[in-house]
Amino acid sequence: MNMNATLSIEAEPYTFELVPARCALLIIDMQRDFLEPGGFGEMLGNDVSQLRQAIEPNKKLLEAWRAAGLQVLHTREGHRPDLADLPPAKKVRGHGATTIGDTGPMGRILIRGEAGHDIIPELYPLPGEPVIDKPGKGAFFATDLHAILQNLGITQLVVTGVTTEVCVNTTVREANDRGYECLVPEDCVASYFPIFQEMGLKMIKAQGGIFGWVTGSSKIIPALA
């Protein structure tokens, strides 16, 4: 592959011109606590099967991306074991009986180093793929993601992961404000709530692509080959 060639990807609201040398795959929060049965997400009453629909499309896209020799990054939402980076407002939000830092089905909930905080085996990072541990919804807040991307010469992002309306949308908006072009494959993102999935994608591509572009992995993978 010519890393500096332009790959025209069919997308909404219009064609996305992907330059491999300047584009990274950013996989958001595909963590065990959010996606696996018996995890924190299911404990809150969510249907994790809605999120698990994104695993296989992500796996296929990740395999193709790696095979093409392109940059991959992963994120995980979570907090320090001493909770020093956990705002009190986030700790109490929802008034649940079990909250961040408490013991859950796979260790302390959303705490770095615990089993539930880690990325699912199907999409586990390879050595050399940066993992961004973020304390908030957006991947740029209180992290070194922007510095890493600048050092790598990245100006475009293919953003996948969960959930569409929260961490994916927040990250795409943060990236847009920092000058990155974002492409979101709709089958590689997911929400616990189908209506939020639909609306989250509509918001990204609205008004001529106010935050970015939306496509499907089936449009990206052939271009990489």
Contacts of 143 (CB under 8 A, 6+ apart): 132, 133, 134
Contacts of 216 (CB under 8 A, 6+ apart): 185, 186, 187
SS3 at position 169: helix
Q: Which of 134, 137, 182, 205 is catalytic?
A: 134
DSSP letter assigned to residue 196: H
Task: Verify whether residue 29 is a known catalytic residue.
Answer: yes
Task: Verify whether residue 144 is a known catalytic residue.
Answer: no
Structure tokens given for 11: 């997308």
Burial of 204 (0-12, 13-18, 19+ CB in 10 A): buried
Give, rounded to a whole angstrom, the gap between the first and last alpha carbons of the chain: 8
Task: Verify whether residue 134 is a known catalytic residue.
Answer: yes
Q: Would you call the peptide bond into 163 cis, given omega within 30 degrees of 0 as the criterion?
A: yes
One-letter amino acid at 132 equals I
Q: Which of 23, 118, 137, 167 is catalytic?
A: 167
Q: Which residues pair with residue 92 across a beta bridge?
A: none
Structure tokens given for 145: 């993601």
SS3 at position 185: strand
* Residues with a known catalytic role: 29, 134, 167
